[in-house]
Amino acid sequence: MTNDSTACRNVLVLVAAQAVLGAQLPMIFTIAGLAGSSLAPNACWATLPITMMVIGSMLTATPLSMLMQRFGRRAGFFFGAAGGAVGAAIGAWGLSSGSFLIFCIGALLSGIYMSANGFYRFAAVDTASEAFRPKAISWVMAGGLLSAVFGPQLVKITADEMAVPFLGSYLTVIGLNLVGSLLFLALNIPKPKAPAAGSPAGRSRAELLRNPTILVAMICATVSYALMNLVMTSSPLAVVGCGFDKGNAADVVTAHVLAMYAPSFFTGHLIARFGTERIIALGLTILAAAGAVAMAGVQLENFFIALILLGLGWNFGFIGATTMLTSAQRPEERGRLQGLNDLVVFGGVTLASFSSGGLMNCSGGTVQAGWQMVNLAMLPFLVLAGGALIWLWLRPQETRA
Does a structural domain hold residue 198? no
Please check the confidence at residue 312 and state whether its pLDDT lies above 80: yes
Tens-place pLDDT, residues 81-102: 999 999 999 999 999 999 999 9
Query: pLDDT tens for residues 219-268?
Result: 999 999 999 989 988 888 888 888 888 778 878 888 888 888 888 778 87
> Where would I find the beta strands (DSSP E) of 228-338?
none
393-398 long-range contacts, Cβ below 8 Å, gap at least 24?
A: 393/277, 395/212
The number of domains in the chain is: 1
Tell me the Cα Rg of the chain. 20
Contact 168, 162 (CB under 8 A): yes
Quick one: average pLDDT of 175-199?
Answer: 81
CATH number of 111's domain: 1.20.1250.20
Let me know if residue 172 belongs to a domain. Answer: yes
Q: Is 206 helix (H, G, I), strand (E, B) or coil?
A: helix
In a domain, 195, yes or no: no
Look at 19-23, 167-171, 185-189, 250-254 and tell me which has the smallest mean pLDDT: 250-254
Domain encompassing residue 278: 4-189+203-399
Instruction: Single out the residue of 1, 335, 65, 6 nearest to residue 188, CA to CA.
Output: 6
pLDDT tens figures, 290-301: 999 999 998 999
Q: Is residue 48 part of a domain?
A: yes
What's residue 81's pLDDT?
95
Query: Is position 194 within any domain?
Result: no
196, part of any domain: no
Write out pLDDT tens, residues 317-345.
998 998 888 777 776 666 677 778 778 88
CA distance 32 to 37: 8
Asked which of 8-22, 98-112, 360-374 is least confident by mean pLDDT, the reply is: 360-374
Handedness of CA 312, 265, 78, 195 (dihedral sign): negative
Give a yes or no: residue 260 inside a domain.
Answer: yes
Residue 66 has pLDDT above 60, yes or no: yes
pLDDT at 401 over 60: no
119 domain residue, yes or no: yes
